[in-house]
Structure 1
Amino acid sequence: MNVRLLEKEGFAGLFLRLRAEGLADKELLTAFEQTPRTLFLSAAYSDAAYHDRLLPIDCGGFAESARLVAKCLSALAIEPGQRLLDIGTGSGFLAAVAGRMVERVVTIDRYKTLIQLAQQRFSHLGLGNVMARQADGLKGVSGEGSFDRIIATCAFDAMPRQFVDQLASGGIMLAPIVSEDGQAARMARLTKIGSRFEREDLFEVPYRAFIPGIAAAL
């Protein structure tokens, strides 16, 4: 099956699954349709691009399912004109979809290889408003001011209070937080109220624990 047909059939299936779950955000679904997911995976996994499973990427990482990306971006309640920080670039797919919905996306990862590959994909798609940088995800990014939305795809041990100052007033951060028993991580929606976070736990996610610093190789 050729890639274009894989994309068309894969997105159609995803669309039906998301609609069945009550996710019917037209802007989000349009952004997905305009972002070919096979571009963000190796050719060996093209036929599984829209399967509801983790898929291997470079640097020993994985790409979460397209369905999970959709659930996360929906929970962020993105609005046009906003600035978004994506912590944990991975394949770059989440940042690319978000880039079609907001004014600017800054995506960071500890691996230089992932940053370079993602930037190439953004350029190929003409997404000039999506910037990839190598950085320590636990510290966020400097020199960019505050963000309206922040999403992390690596799990924190505790509430990531260090990001309060990087979030605009009333802004929302989505952050996986490891449960007290250490067995699983749940995505939490953190809304900035004054100088603190108001927390709402959402759904379980497969994200791994943060590794501090940037990678010396890769």
Structure 2
Amino acid sequence: MNKKRIQETAVLIFANSAEVDARNKTSISNPELFYELTAHTLNIVRQSGLPFFHISEKEQRGNTFGERFSNAIQDIYDKGYENIITVGNDSPELRTHHLTETDEHLKLGKTVLGPTLDGGFYLMGLHRSNFNPSLFQKLPWQRVGLFSKISHLFSTNNSTLHTLPLLRDIDILEDVSALLNFIGRIPKAVFRILADFAKRNIQFFETHILKSEMRFINCSFNKGSPNLLLFPQ
């Protein structure tokens, strides 16, 4: 009988195509931006030397985000990997050292999360023993408090959690303005597109970004970004 070879860590890039992202994220509907973001993510992952799988809307299965994400994770485990590092394509500050640090902590038996400013996460490192598809699907995906909820889930499984630095992601127009303040931390191609986008939408930024306000967002993101966001001055 052939036994499946046990392998250690693989990266799951759970990200839609640029065209689908542009349709879903209507306030920043720019396929070129999402193409560059995906290219950046692929480049960062390749530099880590870890095996990786890009699962877009073409391969995703399920009716809800939780189902599609959980099924994608299970598919990678079924290939024989013990650990999975999941990332999306909307975190331009992501670097290879975030992946290698995650891999190191996974080998120590820890679970890893990289939080985002909106209360979601840009990266998750998870051993198969800490993955419960049923509980995972019930998490408040794309809602406020996701990071807190998933952290609590891991703690109840007696998993030691390692937290990576806080990063920004791109989901809505306001995120563009925030990221433009960090030119040295995002890819030049992405910065060029964001700067051009901001220039063409200068009236929006002048009238909205400088105010502290609560906004409701109703769109389909690649990972755990909430629908309800608070933007401070």
Task: Identify, as 1 or 2, the structure richer in strand.
Answer: 1
Same fold (TM over 0.5): no
**Bigger helix fraction:** 2
Tell me: higher relative CO, structure 1 or 2? Use CA pairs within 8 A at least 6 residues apart: 2
TM-score in terms of structure 1 length: 0.31
Q: Scaled by the length of structure 2, what TM-score is found?
A: 0.29
